[in-house]
Amino acid sequence: MRVQLMARRKVWFSISGALVLVSLLLLVLRGLNLGVEFTGGSLLDLTFERPVGTREVRRMLEEFGLGGAIIQRDVREPRRVFVRVPPLDGEERKRLMTALQESISPLLSDEVRTVTPIISRELVRNAAIALALASAAMIVYITIRFEYKFALVAIAALLHDVIVTLGLFSFLQVEVGAPFVAALLTIVGYSINDTIVVFDKIRENLRGTRKSVWTVVDESVNQVMMRSINTSATTGLAILAILLFGGKTTREFALALLAGVVAGTYSSIFLASPLWAVWKQREERVGWRRLRRSRRRR
């Protein structure tokens, strides 16, 4: 398998560009389905002893003045419902839980999480700080080990992966919480990891060659293609195991990781390297022109 990386670069850039554009549009128009960890509120995950309908749960909630609750039944388990309401305090929750058990049925299992806006604001702020800090540290590291152009291109690829993942979650309207933030930051680490492996090959092949940047990038990417795909495949397999067998709590987390790994593999092969080559080539041409001009003047 040989990919016409540089010759077809416009195709690759268009795919990435379109994905990013659609993702951004989705994010603006449709937004994300933010969980209680972002909006503040209480989330009740209740499994009763018998199958329940959303209507009887709602009737129960109305008695507590919680008629506006979002109630969802689990797709696979008719006895399980998820309820989202504004933040409940200890007293209210205790009364509600007792009432639910008395009027519907005893609970087999339950999970209740309450987050107030103080905590949700903190989550968003900390995520932003972590992202900025990680990006800055990576730019410094890559600039030292490679050069700043590699660093900036790698960060562009990383933003691409994060935006596409956000876009997918906006499209699917899967609820996102704190683990989603962790998944995004892991994608950041993974995406860079993948990109670096490709850059390493380019760096090596550039040494002492007289070939053009484009040719070197084309060859390098084709040389590392298999290992890029194989490393993503092993990571992807592991994540798939969490997604399919790991239970509901980690499902959203695994889905985000999987999207990030796929986007990350694409961007390190088809986006970061050709982007760098175009930039480098243009710079060299400009350099040559300057050199020629200065010679003519002499």
Partner 1 sequence: MRRATAVAVLLSFLILYLTGAAFLWVRRAQIAGLFRLGLDLRGGVRVVLQAEGTPEAPVTDQSLQEAENIIRVRVDRLGVTEPIVQREPELGRIVVELPGVEERHAALDLIGRTGLLEFYDEEGNLIITGRDLVRADAAFQPGTNEPVVTLDLVPEARKKFAEATTRNVGRRIIIMLDGEIISAPVVSVGGIEEPIITGYPSMEEAFRLSVLLNSGILPLNLRVVEDYAVSATLGQDSLEKSKQAVLIGLAAVGLFMLSVYRLPGLMADLALGVYMVLLLGALLAVRATITLHAIAGIVLSVGMAVDANVIIFERIKEELRAGFTIAASLDRGFRRAMRAILDANVTTLIAAAALFRYGTGPVRGFALTLSIGIIASMITAILLTRFLLKFLVGTRLLADAPRYFGVRS
Least gap, CB of 266 to partner 1 (angstroms): 17
Q: How far is the CB of 288 from partner 1 (least distance, A)?
A: 30
Site for partner 1 in 5-44 (CB under 8 A): none
Give the nearest distance from C-beta 280 to partner 1 in angstroms. 19
- Of 59-118, which residues contact partner 1 (CB under 8 A)? 89-91, 93-94, 97-98, 107-116, 118
Hey, which residues between 129 and 148 contact partner 1 (CB under 8 A)?
A: 129-131, 133-134, 137-138, 141-142, 145
| Closest alpha carbon to 71 in 92, 31, 100, 95 | 100
Site string for partner 1, 193-222 (x = CB under 8 A): xx-xx--xx--x------------------
Candidates 223, 218, 220, 261; CA nearest to 239 is 261
Q: How far apart are CA 217 and CA 232, in angstroms?
A: 20
The count of residues in the chain is 298
Per CB under 8 A, the segment of 25-33, 182-190, 271-279, 287-295 that binds partner 1 is 182-190
124 lies in the site for partner 1, by CB under 8 A: no
Q: What is the three-class DSSP state of 85? A: strand
Contacts 24+ apart (CB under 8 A), 203-211: 203/146
Q: How far is the CB of 6 from partner 1 (least distance, A)?
A: 21
Indicate the SS3 state at residue 205: helix
Q: Restricting to residues 222-241, which ones interact with partner 1 according to CB under 8 A?
A: 223-224, 226-227, 230-231, 233-241
The residue range among 60-68, 120-128, 207-215, 281-289 that interacts with partner 1, by the rule CB under 8 A, is 120-128
Nearest Cα residue to 73 out of 81, 62, 63, 84: 81
Q: Encoding tokens for residue 171?
A: 């499209």
Q: Shortest distance, CB of residue 127 to partner 1, whole angstroms?
A: 7
Contact window for partner 1 (CB under 8 A) among 10-18, 66-74, 190-198, 283-291: 190-198
Site size toward partner 1, by CB under 8 A = 77
Is 49 near partner 1 (CB under 8 A)?
no
Using the minimum distance from each CB to partner 1, give the nearer residue, 22 or 131: 131
C-beta of 43: minimal distance to partner 1 in Å?
10
CB 14 within 8 A of CB 157: no
The residue among 71 and 178 lying less far from partner 1, judged by its C-beta, is 178
Strands 70-73 and 41-48: unpaired
How many alpha carbons fall within 13 Å on the CB side of residue 97?
Answer: 20
Question: What are the tokens at 270?
Answer: 């088809």
* 182 touches partner 1 (CB under 8 A): yes
* Residue 118 burial class via C-beta count within 10 angstroms: exposed 0-12, middle 13-18, buried 19 and up: exposed
Nearest to 153 by CA among 259, 264, 263, 274: 274
Q: What SS3 state is found at 120?
A: helix
Residue placing its CB nearer to partner 1 in the complex, 50 or 292 = 50
Which of 66, 78, 35, 60 is closest to 249 using CA atoms? 35
Among the listed ranges 20-28, 51-59, 62-70, 178-186, the one in contact with partner 1 (CB under 8 A) is 178-186
